[in-house]
Amino acid sequence: MESNGTNFETMRSLQQELTFKEATAVFEKQGLKFGAEQQRTLGLITEDGYYTNLGLLFSDQCEHTIKCARYLGNDKLNFQDRKEFNGSILTQVEVAFEYLSLYNAKSAHFEGLQRIEQESFPSYALREALINAATHRDYSFSRSILIHLFQNRLEIVSVGGLVKGLTLEDIELGISQSRNPKLANVFYRLKWIESYGTGLQRMKESYKQSTLQPFWTVGPNAFVVTLPKQTIETPTSEDNLLNEWL
């Protein structure tokens, strides 16, 4: 595909009996139309009227899934729960985020009279990591996006390594090159992503109060985002007294 310039999302889908009830509902929530004209403009339908692989991704018949597993500890020995999300890729991302938010425990501490709430994982980082996985994965592979929720961290495994020509240092500096530009464009229209390549940087910024920071691991055919459970040092009563005197 790289040698002949073919792009997976623009290729004609082998499945042509597609429906878009779930995708239409997501678009309507944003006040956007999702009829045949819009689908053609976005690249879901070819000029000669056939659905593309991009159309298949947004359809109710999408063949790719997101799998999530929760574990009792910090390894994969003991499962606590397993879920698989299917349907339109839009619905998968929404439902997977709702599921993870359900187990994103909150804690609180007091600084003086002020109650400070803290999530286990910053919602922004959780959302950004999930959307990035769906946006940049290599859909020519049939494997699912994998989410592992441990007691001390969360890992999101996206199929496909970096886009050819980019390094980890490049993307950390904000250089962005999408493997699926038409898919990214739809997410941009839905206001799910920004087009400035700031996702990883802003994930780190959402952890600015934490002593542990998110990190990424790149393999030949995988990109793994690890979000550690936040650890925030709370001031002691002695520190509070000292600050008041100062």
pLDDT, tens digit (0-9, with 9 covering 90-100), for 45-91:
999 999 999 999 999 999 999 999 999 999 999 999 999 999 999 99
Question: What Å distances lie between residue 59 and 45, 95, 148, CA to CA?
Answer: 12, 16, 26
CA distances from 92 to 20, 63, 162, 230 (A): 14, 11, 23, 26
pLDDT at 112: 66
Same-domain check for residues 207 and 118: yes
Q: What is the pLDDT of residue 4?
A: 47
**Which residue in this structure is represented by tokens 């940049």?**
136
Per-residue confidence (pLDDT) for residue 128, from 0 to 100 = 93
Q: What's the CATH code of the domain at 153?
A: 3.30.565.60
Task: Tell me the three-class secondary structure of 54-76, residue by residue.
Answer: HHHHHCCCCCCCEEEEEECCCCC
Q: Are residues 73 and 53 in the same domain?
A: no
Residue carrying the six token digits 């005197």: 245
Q: Could you tell me if 18 and 70 lie in one domain?
A: no
Find all residues with CB under 8 Å of 116, minimum gap 6, and list them: 108, 109, 110
**Number of structural domains the chain divides into:** 2
Question: Could you report the per-residue pLDDT of 207-236, keeping only the tens digit for each?
Answer: 988 899 999 999 989 999 999 998 876 555
Examine residue 1 and state whether it is found in any structural domain, yes or no. no
**210 and 117, same structural domain?**
yes
Query: Does any domain span residue 237?
Result: no
> Is 235 part of any domain?
no
Of residues 176, 208, 205, the one with CA closest to residue 193: 176
Question: Over the range 118-139, which residues count as b (16 or more CB within 10 Å of their CB) and which as e?
Answer: bbbbbeebbbbbbbbbbbbbbb
- Residue 166 covered by a domain: yes
Query: How far is residue 93's CA from residue 80's CA, in Å, rounded to a whole number?
Result: 21
Q: How many residues does the chain have?
A: 246
- Beta strands 66-71 and 145-149, pairing class: parallel
Helix axes 89-102, 123-136, angle to 10 degrees: 150
Which residues lie below 8 Å from residue 65, measured CB to CB, with a gap of 6+? 84, 85, 86, 92, 144, 145
- What tokens appear for 113 in the block? 């009279």
Q: Is the pLDDT of residue 1 over 70?
A: no
Tokens of 84: 């698989």
Q: So what's the pLDDT on residue 196? A: 67
In the predicted model, is pLDDT for residue 246 greater than 50? no
Q: What is the pLDDT of residues 167-197, one digit of tens each?
A: 888 888 878 788 899 999 999 999 998 766 7
d(CA 115, CA 237): 15
Give yes or no: residues 219 and 163 share one domain: yes
Do both 54 and 70 map to the same domain? no
For residue 240, tell me if it sits in a domain: no
Query: Do residues 124 and 53 share a domain?
Result: no
Judgement on whether residues 92 and 139 belong to the same structural domain of the protein: yes
Binned at pLDDT 50, 70 and 90, residue 241 comes out as very low
Q: Is residue 233 part of a domain?
A: no
> For residue 243, what pLDDT is reported?
45
The pLDDT value given to residue 176: 77
Q: Which of 39, 58, 77 is the endpoint of a domain?
A: 58
Instruction: Please tell me whether residues 138 and 35 are part of one structural domain.
Output: no
Say whether both 70 and 51 belong to one domain.
no
* Structural domain boundaries, residue 92: 66-228
pTM of the model: 0.86
Task: Assess if residue 239 is contained within a domain.
Answer: no
pLDDT tens digits for 116-169?
A: 667 899 999 999 999 999 999 999 988 899 999 999 999 999 998 888 888 888
Provide the pLDDT confidence category of residue 95 given band limits of 50, 70 and 90. very high
- At residue 6, the pLDDT reads 60
Question: Would you give the DSSP letter of residue 143?
Answer: P
Per-residue pLDDT band at 113 (split at 50, 70, 90): low
Tell me, yes or no, whether 109 lies in a domain: yes
Looking at the structure, tell me whether residues 159 and 189 fall in a common domain.
yes
Any idea what DSSP says for residue 209? T
Both 75 and 162 in one domain: the answer is yes
